[in-house]
Amino acid sequence: MIMKYEFLLEYAVYLFSMIDACAEKSFLPKGIHARIWVVFVVLQIVKRIIATFSVNNGRVEIPRSLLVMLPVFATYGMVFLGEFTYFKNAAAAAIFVMATFFIGDYIGKNKCVLEFVFVSFVVMAAYVFVYINIHNYSISSLYKNVNLTTFFSLIYKRRFRFSFGLSNPNAIGNILAWTICLSHYVFVSVKKMFSGALKAIFYIIILVVDFISFIMLLITGSRAGLMCVIVYAVFYVLIYVENNSVMGRRDKLTLRIIVAMIVFALALSTSSNIIYYYMHSGRQKAFKNLRLINSPRRWMFGIGLPQKEIKNLLIDGVRGDSIDVYYIYILVMAGIVGLALMMISIIMIAKQVNLKRREELLSNLLWADFMTLVVYGLFESCVLNASFLTSGILWAMFIASFYDGAYKYNAYEVKNNET
């Protein structure tokens, strides 16, 4: 028990430093963030070595979760080569992926997913709210500048966007969106961890945090972040209805058919508009980067070791644009091979999470998280990226699902335990 809370404390420091590294006026001195990340990863490796010899008598156990991460390690090995001339990016990506694996493996093995999400929620919400209060950002005053009629405008100058002191509006938008989406786990964890008046107080706090986060999300003007919340809500409602014991099998099938018909009709009637809007929302820049992979070798393995600095994607004299589509990012950096490896990991996770849905009810929320993240990747390079720290939280939860019982907690079991 003590070791579990010790790990959660270490993780809280790591997550705090990840958020703080994105801030224009960080609490920690510049340069110390990366040191914290390295120390965290090294500490987890040392603990594994000690456990191997003291607990397992020198017997090395290969975690099941490692199988899903091997293709990821291979993919990001190629990404590392592509970004090697901008070493800080490459090193951050490598440390981030390793840290994500160790976190996911630990919370799965020790069955502390709910505690992990609770800590993540508290650290993200507390950091954002303390930061905006220290720097006197008035949410009510900023919200007056939000024009919902121009929120999705393709003309950038017509949109009001504010980053609240972080690196860019989409970075804080991503944190706010997933703070809202992950709050359902926090409700369950509060039900498990507290009781009586204290539980009611936490419920109110969570609802207030979600409301303020949503208002701040609108202020950031992050369309991708808002889309994340909407997609999560849709998947959650569908999953809730599907698992509703009151409805019969025929009713559920009818509902699925109706939803599929509505989605198909909307897609058919607005397909040209959707494609036009998507491509002109800035995502066309991502597809322009395909011109950088201008040889068979690069198509297969990505850009490799470029001769020029890749900070602005300047490769062989050809300047690229920002890559706001994750799958294009992997294709450019790691080629068809890297993208295929990444898809293997994503498919393995999909199968595992779907399997867990039948055994552990809390995994239904994880399925909604997974589908939302996959869709989010069409709008940002956020499926697994150090620039989007929430992707590490989600992948850690996916990795944890490979351990039996990691998602055994659900509202019904908690309620029974209380009585």
> pLDDT tens-digit profile of 187-207?
877 877 778 888 889 899 999
Query: Does the pLDDT value for residue 95 go beyond 60?
Result: yes
Give, for 401, the enclosing helix (H) or strand (E). Answer: none
CA nearest 327: which of 364, 379, 275? Answer: 379
Q: In 10 A of CB 160, how many CB atoms?
A: 17
Q: What residues are paired with 319 via a beta bridge?
A: 314
The least confident of 79-88, 90-99, 203-212, 401-410 is 79-88
CA distances from 90 to 17, 33, 333, 385 (A): 18, 15, 11, 11
Q: Residue 102 CB: number of other CB atoms within 10 A?
A: 20
54 CB-near residues (< 8 Å, 6+ apart):
none
CB 301 within 8 A of CB 78: yes
Phi, psi (degrees; rounded to nearest 5) at 314: -95, 110
What is the reported pLDDT for 302?
A: 83
Per cent of the chain over pLDDT 70 is 75
Q: Where are the beta strands (DSSP E) in 211-316?
A: 314-315
List of long-range contacts for 139-147, beta carbons under 8 Å, 24+ apart: 139/212, 139/215, 139/216, 139/219, 142/219, 143/215, 143/218, 143/219, 145/219, 146/218, 146/219, 146/221
- Run of H or E including 195: none
pLDDT at 207: 92
The whole-number average pLDDT for the span 59-88 is 76
Q: What CA–CA distance (Å, rounded) separates 302 from 78? A: 7
User: pLDDT band at residue 87, thresholds of 50, 70 and 90?
Assistant: low
Q: Is 303 exposed, middle or buried (0-12, 13-18, 19+ CB in 10 A)?
A: buried
Indicate if the pLDDT at residue 221 is higher than 80.
Answer: yes
Q: Lowest mean pLDDT of 46-55, 162-171, 238-247, 366-375, name the range.
A: 238-247
Please tell me the distance from the alpha carbon of residue 400 to that of residue 382, in angstroms, as a whole number.
20
Answer yes or no: is pLDDT of 250 > 60. yes
Q: Spell out a b/e string for 26-46, using b for 16 or more CB atoms within 10 Å of the CB, else e.
A: beeeeeebeebbeebbeebee
Whether the pLDDT of residue 342 is over 50: the answer is yes
Task: Give the pLDDT band (50/70/90) at residue 390.
Answer: very high
Mean of pLDDT over the chain = 79
Band (245; pLDDT cuts 50, 70, 90)? low
pLDDT value at position 16? Answer: 95
Please return the burial class of 315, using the count of CB atoms within 10 Å of its CB with bins 0-12, 13-18 and 19+. buried
Cα–Cα distance measured from residue 62 to residue 70, given in angstroms and rounded to the nearest whole number: 12
349 vs 130: CA distance, rounded Å:
35
| pTM across the whole model | 0.84
The 10s digit of each residue's pLDDT in 128-171 is: 989 888 888 888 888 887 777 666 666 666 677 888 888 788 88
Rounded to 5°, the CA angle 241-244-245 comes to 155
Record the tokens describing residue 151, joined without a space.
Answer: 């929120």
Average pLDDT of the segment spanning 397-415: 68
319: phi then psi, degrees, rounded to nearest 5: -90, 130
Residue 62 scores a pLDDT above 50: yes
Q: What is the pLDDT of residue 283?
A: 66
Give the pLDDT of residue 415. 41
In 21-135, which residue ranges form alpha helices assigned H by DSSP?
32-54, 65-82, 87-109, 113-134
Q: Which of 206, 172, 170, 171 is nearest to 188 (CA)?
A: 206
- pLDDT confidence of residue 299: 87
- Among 41, 181, 164, smallest CA distance to 121 is for 181
